[in-house]
Amino acid sequence: DAMVIQNPRYQVTQFGKPVTLSCSQTLNHNVMYWYQQKSSQAPKLLFHYYDKDFNNEADTPDNFQSRRPNTSFCFLDIRSPGLGDAAMYLCATSRGRLDTQYFGPGTRLTVL
Amino acid sequence: AQSVTQLGSHVSVSEGALVLLRCNYSSSVPPYLFWYVQYPNQGLQLLLKYTTGATLVKGINGFEAEFKKSETSFHLTKPSAHMSDAAEYFCAVSYSGGYQKVTFGTGTKLQVIP
């Protein structure tokens, strides 16, 4: 089945220690998104890629970076995680920007 | 700016009872509207969506929603709640024409009481 895969499902890191979250897709979609979802809150868009074109949301902290080496993979890098970065990180894909977004299962990040 | 309001952060229903989750949106242009469901520690799964055409939209798991332009509403309903429906439900909006990101509501947690 075509799907959006996120690894790992659970990630524990230390305060200030860089961490990378991974997302891959078999849908061959053009657009890949990263959302941050804190407890009992709505998902908040951090940035998205349309093909290789990177689009950052205005209020996304510089601490968050992303890479998309090819169509299938997209990475979220948190350079110096703080306690406030503990959250569920959701990856989503869509065929085009106006098309339905399909979500992965998420990675829950804990910062110690 | 587009926005979505979900009335009631927590809703409890008895098993077999009607499920009604409320969503209102703000819009100056025709919206695209979505309902997603999220089970604990999982990603969001699309239940249904409205883009154009028929205003009553049927989705998975017996859910449906009706787009009412005059009321700027897109309420989610299911005639008979099942224990497996217990989850968090998010209403979301985006717009046709040009790029507009999807904006999510703050979510409604549905509890189903046996």
Rounded Cα distance between A39 and A41, Å, is 5
What is the distance between the alpha carbons of residues A99 and A37, in angstroms, rounded to a whole number? Answer: 21
Distance CA A81, CA A86 (A): 8
CA distance B99 to chain A (A): 6
Asked if B5 reaches chain A (Cβ–Cβ under 8 Å), the answer is no
**Cα torsion for A98, A100, A106, A110, to the nearest 10°?**
40
Question: How many C-beta neighbours within 10 Å does residue B113 have?
Answer: 11
Q: What is the mean pLDDT of chain B?
A: 90
Q: Model confidence over A102-111: pLDDT tens digits?
A: 999 999 999 9
Pairing of strands B56-58, B3-7: unpaired
Task: For residues A12 and A57, give the distance between their C-alpha atoms in angstroms, rounded to a whole number.
Answer: 25
Hey, are the CB atoms on A102 and B99 less than 8 Å from each other?
Answer: no
State pLDDT tens for residues A32-44.
Answer: 999 999 988 889 9
